[in-house]
Structure formats: structure tokens, C-alpha cells
Chains A and B, each alone.
Chain A
């Protein structure tokens, strides 16, 4: 590991290293909350919306984001943010259909949904494609950081990728989902502060936004690129590849996000989480990741900097930041990598345990066995991602990412989308969509002009890597719809809770009774521990039940009174019959429940009706 052509100084690397160690330690210290596979994969399903929102944005912003979007911002201007414009349109499908289905039906992975909604062959096909998709994503993230460290330190790409892969795999191995969520909170904040700080520093350097804006070429000032030009960054190419295929995949088929949604304390919190994530944090992330390129372009036009598009983020940050602060920006890059790769590694582990190990290798083992398998799989997933790094070295990062997304996501995405929105969609059609769609997409690599060419909007072969997503979506959807019309759908009774229109059935199945949707308030109560009480059931007064608009049998969420724990100290319980004292502000619970939430006797907590 020879340090050559290093851009930063010793202080910068000191700050970066310190940050790296602190975040790693932060993640590892949450390892003590991981005692079961539920903790390892879903963090115990107890976290507040704001924690998950930060976690999601940290996952969306990969290490490639700063490099990729700054390069696009340098070359094409503010239209580099157009990919972030797409997420909001998926919100209704996500919040009103998909999250209620996976949460209330306790679906732990996409392949599991596929078997419940369709059949076992569809589950197997989905497992294969999703594992390829996620492991490929890990590889893309590792190669990007390897390239960045090469620019900064002169390391071989493989060396930088290997060091970060080991570090991330280590804290996922120990801390699981809880470590991921807590480190992502820190990393999400840091990468937003670093990116926005860089933007503010740039504006200050130029003497105000007007002066900065004037230094950008006219072509750099549009929200969207030209509809069908240039082929490698046309609006329609980016739109079909990112807005439809990539964003849809992130929302519906990305196991890492499914696990985040399942980590929420309730489905209702998903609405707040999505608004905070997509409407507030994502625009900030769009600016944070792209602004390096815009500022570098303005600096170049002002005669102050020389850089290529690929190095624009690092060069602009180095130009504007004082020693030490530059190290902080570099730390944000590292944060972006770790916060994306950790989720992906955990996701591979979840699919392997739930969809391969449990059903086919060892069916009836205890949870500790599966936890060990999950941890080992985390290490293997990181190693597989690392093995893909040399493969992705052959193309540009953006190109590799686009090509990969366009190739593997459409068939599964279409199958999920039709599966949750269309009752008539049949198991045979779903299997055909996934396998036939994947084969057709593969064929488009052999005969690109014949299959993708007619959909290229006149842009030619340079656009195929993006437009292949459109071909994949159209081909997969056509197959799915056509086959559905000639085959028999599953009876409605078998797919209740798995398809739109039956979300209330999923709620009933989750609760085991009729859901209580009356609006209520959060009650403040004091813990009393009683070993005689049944585990999972609590006793509160009629007054407390009325405050929450709750009835005996309703699902409640008991949480530490201090909001900033974000659900780390909390437990889901069921309301028992009202206490004899109608006005007491005490909540009586079993010692096991109190211990699960780390509540002490006489501790004030909050209590909320979930369902």
C-alpha cells in the first residue's frame, strides 16, 4: 500500500481515520442489542420514523453517488439531480400497498412474498435474480470507494475495496440491523452536513449564489437534460433506467429497504418516514452529492481549477476546504459507502437464511443456529461483492451501474408490481414474467439493435445501456399480462393480505382481531413490574385506554420517555383488561417485557396504540 499522489494532508487522513474508527465502534457497541435473527435482520421492529428516514437516505446515497452525480453535475449541470426527482411518484404504491402488505403479513423477504402470492418456482426464480442484483450492488459500491481511495491515496483499487469490505462486514457481523440503523443515522447526518457544507463553501467563495449561477454555462442550468440527447445522459434514458427501473427496484424489490420498513415500530410511521426521507432529506442529498461537480465547473470556468469530471468532487472539496475539513468530506465519502454496503450485506444474509438455508438445508433448527448462519453469510456476501470488483472495472461506474440495473431489475420489479396491484395476475404468469423477462433481457445483449433499437428514440447504440430497462419493463409486463389472460389466478381467499384491496385483511391477520383505527393520543405512564402477569400483555387503567382510544386486545407500543432513543428501548405489547383502579397512571407488565425494553420499575414511559 504505497501512498502516492495523495491529495490531502496528514491532518485530513487523521480526521478520516478517526471518523472511521468512531463509526465502527458506534456500530459495534449496538451488537449487544442483537440476540435473535429478528434483531439481526429487523432490529426488533421498534424504531421511530426519523431514524429509519435517515437510514434510508444514507443507504440511497452510496459512495458512487458523490463521484457519479458530481461527474454528471460537472458535465451536464443541475440536471444531475433529476434522478432524485423520481421517488415521490412511487410513494402511494409504497405506503398504501407495499409496506402494509409486507409488514402486516410479516413477509421477511421478496422471495417469501413470491411463494405466498404465487408459488414455489416463482420464489426460487426471484431468489436467484435478487441475490445477483444485491451482490452486484455491493461490488459497485466497493469499486467506487476503491477508485476514490486510489485518487486520494494512490492505493490499488482492489486494496481500498478490500479494506472497506472487511470493515463493513465486521460491524454487520456483530451488530446486525440495529448497528446498521444506528451507524446510518450518524453517517446520514455526516454526509448531508459535508455535502451541504461544501455547497455553502462554494457559494461563499464565489461571493453569492448569483455569481456562482452566472459562472455555469446556460446548458448546465436546466432541471432536466434534453429529452433524447446526448445518448449517455438523455432525459428519457435516465428516466426509464432510474425513475422506472431503479427507483421501482429500490422501493419494491430491494431487500435492504424491505428490512428497513420492517424495522419501523408501526406501519403508520412509514408515512412520516417516507415524507421525511423523500421530500426533505432526499433533495438535500441530491444537492450534497451533485454540488461538487457544479462548483468544480464554476471554478474551472473562473480559471481557478483544472479537473476531469470523474475527479470533480474530490478536487472541488480539496480546493475549498481547510486541512482537516477536507478529511471530514472524505469521511462523508467513506460514510456513504459503509451505509450502503452494510444494508446490502445484511440483505443478502436475510435472503440466504430465509429463502435457502431454512427451506432447503436445515428446516427446524433453533434461532441461534440461524443467527450464526446469518453472521457467516454476511462475511461471504462481502467477499462475493469484492470478487465482482475486477468485473466492474471494465466500464465507467455510471455505465456499469446503469447497465447492471437495466439488465436484472425489470422482470422481478414487474412481477412484484403486478402481484400487488392486480388480483388476476397468476402464478404461471409471475414465473413467466421473471424467467422469460430475464431471458429476453439477456437476448437484448446478443441482438441489441433488433430488440432495444426500436425503443432508443433515435439515440443509437450509445443509449442502449439505459433503454434496455424500457425494453425489459415492456417485455416483462407484456409476458405477465398475456400469460395471465390464459391461465388461472389463485382464489382470492388464498391471496388475502397479499394484494391491493385486501390490506385490511392483512391487518386482521397481523393483529388476530379486528383492527382499531380510531385516532388516539400518546399516554404517559409509569412502569410496574409484575411476574404474575402473562408475557406480552400489559394492564393499564380505563383512563389510559381512553386516552389512546384503545380497547383490551389492542396492540400497544411502550417506549422510553426520551424521544431521542428512537425506539431503541421499547417493546410491543397487547392491552389486557383494564386495571381495577380506573385512574391509575401505572402500566403493569411482565419482567421479560420490561427487560426487553430495558425498563426499570417506576420508570416513566410513553404508551401508544398501534392497532
Chain B
């Protein structure tokens, strides 16, 4: 678990921080999801979040345990 808690902490607290930012953007409609460019930004942002999560998972659960000579 000492290797799992960092992921939970990083993406849990990080997720809360993201929610604060997005809610603050939505208040007052500065972030207007009816606009294509705002929707595009949110898609890119979510993709970045998920991409980092996948990367962290690969280098926690898969890559450290690869047999000698294999590549992650």
C-alpha cells in the first residue's frame, strides 16, 4: 500500500483542486460549456488528467515488475 497511497493522494487531492478550479470557472459562466472552445479545453484537461493517472499506474504496477530485458 505504501506505493498505492501516493497515487490516491496525488490524484485525490489533485482532483479536489481541479474541482475547485472548474466550479470557480463555471460560476459566473466564465467557463461556458455551450462554447466549443471551452468544451475543447475541458476535454483536453480531462485527457491530461487520465493520461497522468495511466502513466502513474504503469510505473507503479507494471514497469517495476517487468522481467529483465523487457520494455515498459
Q: Which of A85, A100, A517 contacts B10 (CB 8 A)?
A: A85
A89 to B22, CA, bound (A): 11
Whether a CB of chain B sits under 8 angstroms from the CB of A404 is no
Instruction: Encode contact with B along A508-525: 1 for CB under 8 Å, 0 otherwise.
Output: 000000000101000000
Q: Which residues of A contact B21 (CB under 8 A)?
A: 90-97
- Tell me if A504 and B10 are in contact (CB < 8 A): no
- Tell me if B49 and A221 are in contact (CB < 8 A): no
Instruction: Encode contact with A along B6-20: 1 for CB under 8 Å, 0 otherwise.
Output: 110110011101101
Task: Specify the main secondary structure of chain A where it touches its partner.
Answer: helix
- Tell me if B10 and A96 are in contact (CB < 8 A): no
Minimum distance in angstroms from B10 CB to a CB of chain A: 7
Interface residues of B in 7-44 (CB under 8 A from A): 7, 9-10, 13-15, 17-18, 20-22, 24-25, 27-32, 35-37, 41, 44
Instruction: Encode contact with A along B32-60: 1 for CB under 8 Å, 0 otherwise.
Output: 10011100010011001101100110111
Interface residues of A in 337-380 (CB under 8 A from B): none
A243 to B11, CA, bound (A): 11
- Tell me if A421 and B20 are in contact (CB < 8 A): yes
Q: Which of A88, A218, A275, A421 contacts B52 (CB 8 A)?
A: A88
A519 to B41, CA, bound (A): 14
Minimum distance in angstroms from A553 CB to a CB of chain B: 21
Q: Which residues of A contact B72 (CB under 8 A)?
A: 213
* A positions within 8 Å CB-CB of B: 78, 82, 85-86, 88-97, 100, 208-211, 213-214, 218, 221-229, 235-236, 239, 243-244, 268, 271, 275, 278-279, 420-421, 500-505, 507, 517, 519
Minimum distance in angstroms from A20 CB to a CB of chain B: 36
A91 to B42, CA, bound (A): 11
The number of residues on chain B lying at the interface, defined by a beta carbon within 8 Å of a beta carbon of chain A, is: 47
A227 to B3, CA, bound (A): 6
Minimum distance in angstroms from A555 CB to a CB of chain B: 17
Q: Which residues of A contact B37 (CB under 8 A)?
A: 268, 519
Q: Which residues of B contact A100 (CB under 8 A)?
A: 30
A93 to B5, CA, bound (A): 25
Which residue of chain B has its CB nearest to the CB of A502?
B28
Which residue of chain B has its CB nearest to the CB of A96?
B25
- Tell me if B22 and A229 are in contact (CB < 8 A): no
- Tell me if B10 and A243 are in contact (CB < 8 A): yes
- Tell me if B59 and A239 are in contact (CB < 8 A): no
- Tell me if B71 and A229 are in contact (CB < 8 A): no
- Tell me if B22 and A96 are in contact (CB < 8 A): yes
- Tell me if A228 and B63 are in contact (CB < 8 A): no
Q: Which residues of A contact B28 (CB under 8 A)?
A: 500-505
Q: Which of B2, B22, B69, B71 contacts A227 (CB 8 A)?
A: B2
- Tell me if A243 and B20 are in contact (CB < 8 A): no
